[in-house]
Chains A and B, each alone.
Chain A
Amino acid sequence: MSNFFLVVAIFLCCLIVLTLYRAVVGPTVLDRLVGANAIGSKTVVILLLIGFLYGRIEMFVDIAITYTLLNFIAVLGAARYFYKKKG
């Protein structure tokens, strides 16, 4: 089971690298925001997988909850900041 979690975590890292393309060279600012949001939602799953791999899931689940909240608040704040600016 540990090998399966390791393979899934590496696969998610590859997906994050692919999504990083949209976050870096997106044509508008809001495209970059979409990429950052997608990267954040994948990072939560990777944090839980790291917790299972290290055997310290009781610590990593709190970090994952915190990361979910921070990702949501960061995206909302950035979307409000670019409210009236042309992308």
Chain B
Amino acid sequence: MALVILAVMLFLTILGSVTAPYDPNKMQAKNRLQPPNMKNWFGTDHFGRDMLSRIMVATRLTLGTSLCILIIIALFGIAIGSISGYYPPAGAILMRIVDATMAFPSMLIALFLASIMGPGFMTVMIAVAAVYTPRLARLVHGITLTIATNTYVSAAKAVGVGEFRILTRYVILNAVSPIIVQCSFQLAHIILILAILDFLGVGFPPDVPSWGNMIATSRIYITRAPWLLIFPGVAISLAVISINIVGDTLRDAFDPHAQEHIQQG
């Protein structure tokens, strides 16, 4: 079930506006705030724009951006984590910096970074990536420490395998499964934090159709047009639930004894 929802959303992400029944930005003054009906399944917003089309476009935007952010986090997190796990002196310094940044709630840091850099796509991506990279780095650091003590690593060193090759082929490849599990949970967090930044007004520019922006504007029409609030929220929730279920399944598949532990946002 979760996979089906994710597949549909990924499909929307790749196809984008092709699937939308109407132009998501076309304003029709006489169709303002229409409740859901046969023509506009999810109703229309305060400019008479079709909500279904806007949610489809927002899916592309949010999932696309989230995946880009996740790739940035994975690259930097794995690099920082594995280097600091493999070379203890570097680790001592890097991990102290990581610890210090994690003493503050991640959302506040993202909010602060997003507000000083001003609104825009790059801003949001950098702010969110900067917050979650230390978390992944910390996990990779821990795994690298244990992997590096294995005999096969010493054996590789003994036969003269290069440092870089040991790090990429022997250490990181063996750490892949927990990293994938962690990344899937982080993807869920990224989607939520993107929505929160939009809602607080420091995320995507306000005219861009994103799930968070749509909910933010719906506040004004909360009694007159509750469908403006409900459908984008359902979209976010479905996405996050499916990703969490896939993450749970992956974790159980990779490590049946793994304990559920807190995924802080």
**A, B in one complex:** no
